[in-house]
RNA sequence: GCGCCCAUCGUCUAGUGGUCAGGACACCAGGUUUUCAUCCUGGUAACCGGAGUUCGAUUCUCCGUGGGCGCGCCA
């Protein structure tokens, strides 16, 4: 990386080498395994603000090392969502840059080389234990209420010659990082006192999976180093695995970056923000009519307050004064009510012309109407029918009558289960098209042994607010996946008012049942 | 179970040994507005508990308690 730069002095032509302060580089590294999470925007915002405050660079890296769950559809959504927020990255998979590629699945040779280095230096070793053995081991440890839960180090005792022979024989294996037996790992966190974690509690982490892909820990450390990341600003959920990262930097002989662990966004019940209890997809917020600048402003208020006490600020203003020392550590509850208030302020601050432009670029435009016309036309008697008929397409939460929802199946629990099943089924759907949506309902109809005609009324009400409405598959395309998932959740939540709930043990039981009939969910 | 992180109004937070503990959201009351919303004014509401340090602790230390996160061939 460029740490020196030449500079012509004003007078004369003498060139002198000046040592510049290292360029600050931060990154957001989402994993493309689902909807773009609002927490990603929150962490990205702080990374962006910090880097830009110091004239640095902000990088986007895609962490797609989970071959099973990563999808290109999710990656596209994440890029689209992040772009919508207005947090622009200097380097990334779509932009390129001097430190690419920025998609981890395209860097496999780099990880391979690095893991070989660790094996050669004795910091890592191949492990032949099967997944079955490991989960058995874990269960035993749990059952015995052992202090230590984790890998027992069996394969670290293997003779290297023997190990090589087994690898050459094609035996499947992973590579593990050797963890020290005693002492403490010291982590320097920019926001906290020294964090000390006993090495005894850290097991030999897998670095390379049997499929030849790296795990997060390896890929993340190698990339952060190679991409010259100076500050790793991430959620505090990572504190407990930080020792593994520190150990890797040591093993490679690299200087670790500065760690900055931000508090996690929470649900109203204080648990980590989850889609079950809150909308978490950035694209939902876009569809629900929030302005990105309001979302960013609100997110900026989580765990941070500017020195001047001003609550309303643009991204530029936040960047201009951002100060890590003003980050607070208590886990903030994500309060949609306050976000809504902020959004209202931003909406009202626009001129009517600006507002109209924003609303057009949101969804009140030709593109939407052209999709609506073909499905609305056959149902029109007067032109005045159009807007009332399509209103649900431009709404967020609909007014649900739980009795009506339950009435479609005649059974509360059954209703909840169907809604939940649909939610799970649609969550995993990649292409959001009429055909694929229809496939899902057909499959449900078959699995539930319920004619489509009997199955659909529930979903007409949940998604469109009425048993009689525009065709629901087409409507779902207009609404977008995240809004549809949200509506299903709203409907599910509304059932609670008639004492129908699907959570805790019942939910667990139903999850098993669902997986038995529909296959494992992601 | 073990490890770690955290702790000010219901919520987001300011505060860094001496403040009537401030602001914002929400809520309540009043005012402006043909209604509503906006806007303005006012109000209710917090330092988790116990020791210690100190002349004096919301603020520093320790111990509790509470909450959170982690303990995957997920990130």
Tally of CB atoms within 10 A around A461 = 24
* Nearest nucleotide (C1') to alpha carbon of A235: B69
Confidence of residue A15 (pLDDT cuts 50, 70, 90): very low
A520 touches strand B (CB under 7 A): no
Of A3-7, A49-53, A252-256, A264-268, least confident by mean pLDDT is A3-7
Q: Which of A113-117, A244-248, A288-292, A426-430 has the lowest mean pLDDT?
A: A426-430
pLDDT at A20: 56
Mean pLDDT estimate for chain A: 91
A162 touches strand B (CB under 7 A): no
- Amino acid A195 CA to nucleotide B37 C1' distance, rounded Å: 51
Among the options A275, A451, A467, A508, which is catalytic? A275
Q: What does the pLDDT read at residue A89?
A: 98
DSSP alpha helix (H) spans, A377-466 = 386-390, 402-407, 412-427, 434-447, 452-464
Whole-angstrom distance, CA of residue A50 vs CA of residue A318 = 9
Mean pLDDT of the region A426-436: 92
For the ranges A74-83, A130-139, A238-247, A441-450, the lowest mean pLDDT is seen at A130-139
Chain B bases near protein Cβ (<7 Å): 1-8, 10-15, 22-26, 38-39, 67-75
pLDDT at A376 over 90: yes
Residue A14: pLDDT band (50, 70, 90) is very low
Lowest mean per-residue pLDDT among A3-12, A91-100, A349-358 = A3-12
- Over residues A138-191, the pLDDT tens digits come to 888 887 777 888 888 787 788 888 878 888 888 899 999 999 988 999 999 999
Residue with tokens 């917020």: A285
Closest CA to A421 of A506, A280, A517: A517
For A67, half-sphere exposure in the C-beta direction (CA atoms, 13 angstrom radius) is: 10
What's the confidence (pLDDT) of residue A505? 78
Gap from A197 CA to B8 C1', in Å?
29
Q: Half-sphere exposure of A520 toward its Cβ, with a 13 Å CA cutoff?
A: 3
- Between the alpha carbon of residue A437 and those of residues A16, A71, A429, the distances in Å are 65, 18, 8
* pLDDT at residue A409 is higher than 50: yes
Nearest nucleotide, CA A239 to C1'? B4
Q: Is the pLDDT of residue A4 over 80?
A: no
Using C1' positions and the CA of A196, the closest nucleotide is B4
pLDDT at position A294, please? 97
ipTM over 0.90: yes
A122 CB inside 7 Å of strand B: no
A7: pLDDT strictly greater than 70: no
More confident call, A516 vs A57 = A57
Q: Which nucleotide has the least CA–C1' distance to A241?
A: B70
Would you state the pLDDT for residue A521?
Answer: 64
* Distance, CA of A330 to C1' of B48, in Å: 14
pLDDT level of residue A21 (50, 70, 90 thresholds): low
H or E segment and range at residue A366:
helix A366-376
How far apart CA A26 and CA A227 sit, in angstroms, is: 9
pLDDT of residue A157: 83
The pLDDT value recorded for residue A166 is 87
- CA-closest candidate to residue A178, choices A130, A112, A244, A134: A244
pLDDT mean over A410-427: 93
Unique residue bearing structure tokens 């609404």: A479
| A311 C-beta less than 7 Å away from strand B | yes
Q: What percent of chain A has pLDDT over 90?
A: 78
In the predicted structure, residue A2 carries a pLDDT above the cut 50: no
Distance CA A299 to C1' B20 in A: 33
Nucleotide nearest to A210 (CA to C1'): B73
Token pair recorded at residue A8: 């012509």
Residues 180-239 of A with CB under 7 A from strand B: 192-193, 195-198, 201, 203, 206, 209-211, 213, 215-216, 220, 236-239
pLDDT reported for residue A146? 77
**How many angstroms separate the CA atoms of A503 and A483, rounded?**
22
Specify the pLDDT at position A477: 97
A145 is catalytic: no
Q: Would the Cβ of A337 be found within 7 angstroms of any atom in strand B? A: yes
pLDDT digits (tens, 9 = 90+) for A317-336: 999 999 999 999 999 999 99
Segment A96-125, tens digit of pLDDT: 989 989 999 999 999 999 999 999 999 999
Rounded distance in angstroms from the CA atom of residue A308 to the C1' atom of nucleotide B45: 25
Which pLDDT score is estimated for A378?
Answer: 97
Coil, strand, or helix at residue A59? Answer: strand
Q: Using CA atoms, how far apart are residues A78 and A81, in angstroms rounded to an integer?
A: 5
Give bridge partners of residue A408 from the DSSP assignment. none
The pLDDT assigned to A43 comes to 98
Distance in Å from B72's C1' to A235's CA comes to: 19
Q: Which pLDDT does position A124 carry in this prediction?
A: 94
């Amino acid at each position: 990386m460029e740490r020196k730069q030449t500079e012509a002095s004003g007078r004369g032509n003498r060139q002198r080498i000046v040592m510049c302060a290292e360029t600050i580089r931060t990154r957001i590294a989402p994993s493309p395994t689902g909807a773009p999470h609002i927490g990603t925007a929150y962490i990205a915002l702080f990374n962006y603000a910090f880097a830009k405050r110091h004239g640095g660079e902000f990088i986007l890296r895609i962490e797609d090392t989970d071959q099973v769950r990563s999808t290109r559809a999710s990656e596209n959504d994440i890029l689209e969502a992040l772009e919508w927020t207005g947090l622009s990255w200097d380097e990334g998979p779509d932009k390129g840059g001097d430190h690419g590629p920025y998609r981890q699945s395209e860097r496999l040779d780099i990880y391979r080389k690095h893991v070989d280095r660790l094996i050669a230096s004795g910091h890592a070793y191949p492990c032949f234990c099967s997944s079955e053995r490991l989960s058995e081991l874990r269960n035993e440890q749990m059952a015995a209420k052992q202090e230590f839960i984790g890998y027992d180090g069996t394969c670290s005792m293997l003779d290297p010659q023997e190990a090589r022979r087994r690898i050459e024989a094609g035996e499947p294996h992973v590579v593990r990082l050797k963890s020290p037996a005693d002492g403490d790992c010291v982590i320097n966190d920019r926001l906290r006192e020294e964090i000390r974690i006993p090495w005894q509690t850290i097991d030999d982490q897998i670095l390379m999976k049997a499929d030849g892909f790296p795990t997060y820990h390896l890929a993340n450390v190698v990339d952060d180093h190679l991409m010259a990341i100076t500050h790793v600003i991430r959620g505090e959920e990572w504190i407990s695995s930080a020792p593994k990262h520190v150990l890797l930097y040591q093993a490679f002989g690299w200087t670790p970056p500065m760690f900055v662990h931000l508090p996690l966004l929470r649900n109203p019940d204080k648990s980590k923000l989850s889609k079950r209890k809150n909308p978490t997809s950035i694209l939902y917020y876009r569809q629900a009519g929030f302005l990105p600048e309001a979302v960013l402003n609100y997110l900026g208020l989580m765990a941070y307050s500017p020195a001047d006490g001003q609550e309303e600020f643009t991204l530029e203003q936040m960047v201009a004064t951002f100060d890590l020392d003003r980050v607070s550590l208590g886990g903030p509850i994500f309060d949609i009510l306050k976000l809504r208030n902020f959004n209202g302020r931003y909406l009202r601050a626009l001129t009517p012309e600006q507002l109209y432009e924003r609303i057009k670029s949101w969804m009140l435009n030709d593109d939407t109407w052209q999709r609506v016309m073909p499905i609305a036309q056959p149902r029109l008697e007067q032109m005045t029918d159009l807007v009332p008929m399509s209103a649900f397409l431009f709404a967020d939460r609909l007014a649900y009558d739980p009795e009506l929802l339950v009435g479609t199946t005649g059974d509360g629990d059954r209703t909840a289960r169907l809604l939940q099943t649909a939610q799970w089924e649609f969550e995993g759907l990649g292409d959001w098209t009429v055909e694929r949506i229809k496939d899902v309902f057909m499959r449900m109809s078959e699995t539930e042994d319920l004619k489509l005609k009997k199955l659909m009324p529930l979903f007409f009400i949940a998604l469109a607010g009425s048993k009689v409405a525009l065709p629901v598959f087409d409507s779902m395309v207009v609404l977008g996946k995240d809004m549809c998932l949200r509506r299903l959740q709203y409907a599910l939540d509304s059932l609670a008012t008639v004492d129908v709930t699907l959570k805790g043990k019942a939910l667990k039981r139903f999850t098993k049942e669902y997986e038995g009939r529909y296959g494992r969910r992601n």
